[in-house]
Amino acid sequence: MPRRPTVSPDRILAVAALEFAERGYAGARVDRIARRARVNKAMLYYHFGSKQALYRALLRQIFSSAAGRLHAIATSEAPPDQKIDRVIGEMAAFIAEHAFFPAIMLREVAEGGAHLDRDTLKALAGVPLAIGAIVQQGVAQKTLRSVHPIAAYFTMFAPILMYLAGTPIRKELAARHLGDMSSLPPDLFVQQLQRSVRLAFAVPRTRQPARHTRHHPHRTSHLAR
Amino acid sequence: MPRRPTVSPDRILAVAALEFAERGYAGARVDRIARRARVNKAMLYYHFGSKQALYRALLRQIFSSAAGRLHAIATSEAPPDQKIDRVIGEMAAFIAEHAFFPAIMLREVAEGGAHLDRDTLKALAGVPLAIGAIVQQGVAQKTLRSVHPIAAYFTMFAPILMYLAGTPIRKELAARHLGDMSSLPPDLFVQQLQRSVRLAFAVPRTRQPARHTRHHPHRTSHLAR
DNA sequence: GTCTATACTTCGATAGAC
DNA sequence: GTCTATCGAAGTATAGAC
């Protein structure tokens, strides 16, 4: 995937991704997108028709791409707990390639899908569906403890999305000496999240039929960092 | 300063919270806020001066309030693992009282704090700082496993924020038959998250039973309120 | 403090030549 | 396909009477 697309529509989409991520749908300016893509504004309308159509085209593309990569993991041959580890890593990799993704995703969640049509919503839904499939499989075959797929989805993905989307504001806070929130680099964050999720979803090793069942994590072999 | 408004700026703030949560800073309309608050637009400017000043006043208030409640838990007398359980419950309760909070928080993270001044950023930073303090305490006294405070913050809070902010879009997906994402009610989600975090942050069980353990983690279910 | 009316600006979108 | 020029709507903000 070329960093600098030479075809106008692709270049427009690439620039629009940055603009919509930085400013949101309402805050994005068609003029600015056109200028940053080095095309005329009339050219942009020639290719996409409207600001809304451009937005939808962009989100369909990015959500389909993300969902596709997660779906590939979901349908692969591996134990569910391994798939979960890989899904978190894959998501981090996807965001490393598409730095604008977290902000757009967060904004669209807050927006309630207001600017999206059915096709785009369907593409968006592909992400949680892929994760849900993995979890359901693991729960069914008892390689994961009984977690609700929706709860699992948010437990795995919300942290990495918000952590990466929040990089600018953490920098801002650090620059203004309002607390050091920048000391944890992304790759270490991903490792910590993978371990937390592993522990959170693991099948309890021993069952203690006490009044209040307390589930202890097992897998002590994973403890060495 | 004494104020005896026939029309309260508080009503403007309450309505602004809904508008900014639904549409974001750029998408919010001063006209609409004024109309929904049943005040004249000139009245709004009389009290707050500008759209930006209104936004900042709102966010300072809401972030200070949230951070205050978490800070109270952080400085209370309880084992860290209990505080963590309580903090998650308290956050859920806070959002139940302020349904607009998750969307505003998500949008502001994506925005990178672009419209905020130093005071408002400081109020915002109070939330992760309160959580970080709890985790650091627990790690230091070895009642929590070694988790980075920032990683812990996002692991605990991002899921509940995104889950609750995402309620409208899940409804939209369900209404369009694009996957049933609405089957998990909020209180069950909170319980599942509390358990996941408990398991994720628990001190790994040693093979041999420890002889003198001071503080035993207790299973608690603090769905505050 | 509260209102009506309006000034000023910006933005999305289009017309029409080439 | 690409450009310049511009329109009309919508937005923030203010003036000034009461």
Q: What is the pLDDT of residues B65-124, one digit of tens each?
A: 999 999 999 999 999 999 999 999 999 999 999 999 999 999 999 999 999 999 999 999
B1 touches strand C (CB under 7 A): no
pLDDT band of residue A2 (cuts 50, 70, 90) is very low
B window 66-95, beta carbon within 8 A of A: none
Mean pLDDT (whole number) for A169-188: 94
Average pLDDT over residues A175-187: 93
The pTM of this model reads 0.90
Residue A219 confidence (pLDDT) above 80: no
Q: With an 8 Å Cβ cutoff, is B176 touching chain A?
A: yes
Please say if the pLDDT value at position B217 is more than 60. Answer: no
Q: Is the pLDDT score of B216 beyond 60?
A: no
Residues B181-194: tens digit of each pLDDT: 988 999 999 999 99
Is any Cβ of chain B less than 8 angstroms from the Cβ of A183? yes
Measured CA angle at B195 (ends A93, B215), to 5 deg: 115
Q: Which of residues 28-67 of B touch strand D (CB under 7 A)?
A: 28-31, 41-42, 45, 49-52
Report pLDDT digits (tens) over A117-150.
999 999 999 999 999 999 999 999 999 999 999 9
Which residue bears the tokens 């303090």? Answer: B133
Q: How far is A8 from chain B (nearest CA, A)?
A: 27
CA distances from B189 to B181, B192, B194, B195 (A): 12, 5, 9, 10
- Judge: A26–B21 Cβ closer than 8 Å, yes or no: no
B177 touches chain A (CB under 8 A): no
Whose CA is closest to A117, among B173, B19, B182, B179? B173
B8 vs chain A: nearest CA distance in angstroms?
Answer: 28
Q: A222, A153, A186, A124: which is closest to B204 by C-alpha?
A: A222
Residues 6+ apart with CB under 8 A from B114: none
Going from the N-terminus, what domains does chain A have, and what CATH number goes with each?
A: 55-201 (1.10.357.10)
CB-closest option in A179, A200, A212 to B196: A200
Structure tokens that stand for B67 in this block: 């951070």
Residue B29 (CA) to nucleotide D16 (C1'), in angstroms, measures 24
Distances (CA, A) of A75 to A67, A154, A156: 12, 20, 18
Range B14-35 average pLDDT: 98
Residue A32 is classified by DSSP as: H
Kindly tell me if the per-residue pLDDT of A20 is higher than 60: yes
Minimum Cα–Cα distance from B129: chain A residue: A179
At B8, the pLDDT band (50, 70, 90 cuts) reads: confident
A173 touches B at CB < 8 Å = yes
Chain B residue numbers with beta carbons less than 8 Å from the beta carbon of A122 are 178
